[in-house]
Amino acid sequence: MKKIILISALFFSVALVSYSQDLAPDQNPNYAESRAKYMQMADSLTAYQSTTIQDTYKAIDYLADKAEAREERKAFRNQLRMERAKRNYSYYYGRGYYNQRWQSPYYYNRYRPYNNHYYRDYGPVIPWLIPGIWR
Amino acid sequence: MKRIMFVTLTVVALGMVYSSCSRKVTRIDPSEQIDISGRWNNTDSRLAAEELTDQILGERWVNDHQKNKNGERPVVIVGFITNKSHEHIDAETFMKDIEQSFVRSQKVRLVQGGKKREELRAERADQQSNATQSSMKKFGMEQGADYILQGSINSIVDSHKRQKVVYYQINLELTNMETNEIVWIGDKKIAKYVKN
C-alpha cells in the first residue's frame, strides 16, 4: 500500500513539475484554450497584413450630392425614354385615347399603294420568300 | 474674298478642335504640391510618411526595448491599416516609406507578413523538394516579431454649398506582441479648406 502511495505521489510530483516548467512566471494556466482557438484562425486573420482595409463612409457633401442627384435624374430620364421607345409610346403623351395609332397620318396609308383595304400588302418581302421566283 | 474667308475660318476651327483634343503630359517632381480636386493626394501621403517616420524613429520605445533586451533591435511586423475615411485611400503609399526608414536607419528590424509571407513559405516548401541540400532553407527559423504596427485613417467632412473643410487623421500604433501593451502612438493630422 505504501509502495502504491509512494509511486503515485512521485508520479503527481513529476507531472506538477513538468506542468509548472511549461508555464512562464505569472503566466495564465489556461493559456492553452486561447492558443488552440487562435491557432486555427491564424492563417485567415493574418492573410491581409500590410494591406489597407477599406471601410469608407459616404460624407455629406453639398456639391457631390447635387452632382449625384443630377446624374440619377439623367439616368432615370434616359431609362424612361428607352422604355417608352421599346413599348412604342409617345414620348410626351403616352398611348392615351388621343394618341391612338389611327390618328397618325400614316395609319390609313399603311397598306401601300392604292389598295382597296381587302388584302394586306406585304410589300416586296413575300415574293422573295417564294421558292419559284428565283428561277 | 469669300473663299479666302472660308478657308481661314476652316483652318482656325480645325486648329481649335485639335488643340482642345490634344493631351499634354509633363513629368513633375513628386515632392511638388499640386492640389486639383481637394481629395487625398500624393502630397498628403508624403506629409504623413515624413511626420510618422520622424515620430516612430525619434521616440523612446526603441531605447526602452534595447535596454530590456540587452541591446537587441526591436523586430516589427506591419499589420492592418483600416481606412475609415470617406475616400478610397491606400495606406501602402506612406507605410512603405515608413518601412523603408526602418530598414535604412538600421534601428528597427522588419519582418514580412500577410500574402508576401505566404509566398515566402510556399517558396521554402518548394525548396524542400527542388533545391540542393546545402542551399535549401529550413522551416521554423523565422524571426518572430516583438511589435505589431497597426493603424487607421479617419476623416471629418464639413461642407456647405461651395465651401468644404476636410480633416484627415492618420493614427499608427505599435503594440507589444506578448503583453498587448501599446508602446507608441503616432498621428498625422491634415486639414484642407476647399472652395469650389
Phi (first) and psi of residue B94, to 5 degrees: -95, -25
Q: Where are the beta strands (DSSP E) in chain B?
A: 75-83, 109-111, 147-160, 163-176, 182-195
- Closest chain A C-alpha to B116 CA, distance in angstroms: 9
pLDDT confidence bin for A18, thresholds 50/70/90: low
B155–chain A Cβ distance below 8 A for any pair: yes
What is the full per-residue pLDDT of chain B (196 aa) written as tens digits?
Answer: 677 888 888 887 777 766 666 899 999 999 999 999 999 999 999 999 999 999 999 999 999 999 999 999 999 999 999 999 999 999 999 999 999 999 999 999 999 999 999 999 999 999 999 999 999 999 999 999 999 999 999 999 999 989 999 999 999 999 999 999 999 999 999 999 999 8
Chain A residues with CB under 8 Å of a chain B CB are 46-63
Total domains in the fold of chain B: 1
Residue A77 forms part of a structural domain: yes
Residue in this structure with the C-alpha cell 434616359, named with its chain if needed: A78
Sign, CA torsion B101/B106/B111/B115: positive
**A54 with B88: Cβ contact below 8 A:** yes
Residue A9 forms part of a structural domain: no
| Mean pLDDT in residue range A98-122 | 58
Residue A80 forms part of a structural domain: yes
Q: Annotate A96-134 with DSSP letters as a single string.
A: -GGG-GGGSTTTTT-STTT--SSS---TTHHHHHSGGGG
| Rounded Cα distance, B39 and A101, in Å | 55
Residue A104 forms part of a structural domain: no
**A61 with B117: Cβ contact below 8 A:** no
Q: What single letter denotes the amino acid at residue B52?
A: L
pLDDT at B7: 81
Question: In chain B, whose CA is at the least distance from the CA of A62?
Answer: B161
Total domains in the fold of chain A: 1
Where in the sequence is the domain holding B158, given as residue range(s)? 42-129+143-195
Burial level of B11, CB count in 10 A (0-12/13-18/19+)? exposed
In chain B, residues with a C-beta closer than 8 Å to the C-beta of A52 are: 80-83, 89-92, 153
**A55 with B84: Cβ contact below 8 A:** yes
pLDDT confidence bin for A22, thresholds 50/70/90: confident
Residue A53 forms part of a structural domain: no
> Are B123 and B155 a contacting pair, CB within 8 Å?
no
Inter-CA distances, B106 with B92, B99, B110, B164, Å: 21, 11, 10, 42
Q: What is the CATH number of the domain that holds B98?
A: 3.40.50
Start-end of H helices in chain A? 2-22, 31-46, 62-86, 125-129
Closest C-alpha to B82, from A8, A102, A55, A38:
A55
Residue A41 forms part of a structural domain: no
**A49 with B88: Cβ contact below 8 A:** no
Residue B75 forms part of a structural domain: yes
| Mean pLDDT in residue range A67-94 | 84
Where in the sequence is the domain holding A126, given as residue range(s)? 62-92+110-134
Neighbours of B162 (CB within 10 A): 10
Burial level of B154, CB count in 10 A (0-12/13-18/19+)? middle
At A25-61, the pLDDT tens digits run 999 999 999 999 999 999 899 999 999 999 999 999 8
Residue B112 forms part of a structural domain: yes
**A48 with B87: Cβ contact below 8 A:** no
Residue B34 forms part of a structural domain: no
| Rounded Cα distance, A29 and A19, in Å | 9
pLDDT at B186: 97
| Rounded Cα distance, B58 and B121, in Å | 33
Closest C-alpha to B65, from B191, B195, B175, B156:
B175
ipTM: 0.80
Helix (H, G, I), strand (E, B) or coil at B149: strand
Inter-CA distances, B77 with A46, B87, B152, B173, Å: 11, 26, 16, 12
The model's pTM is 0.72
Residue A71 forms part of a structural domain: yes
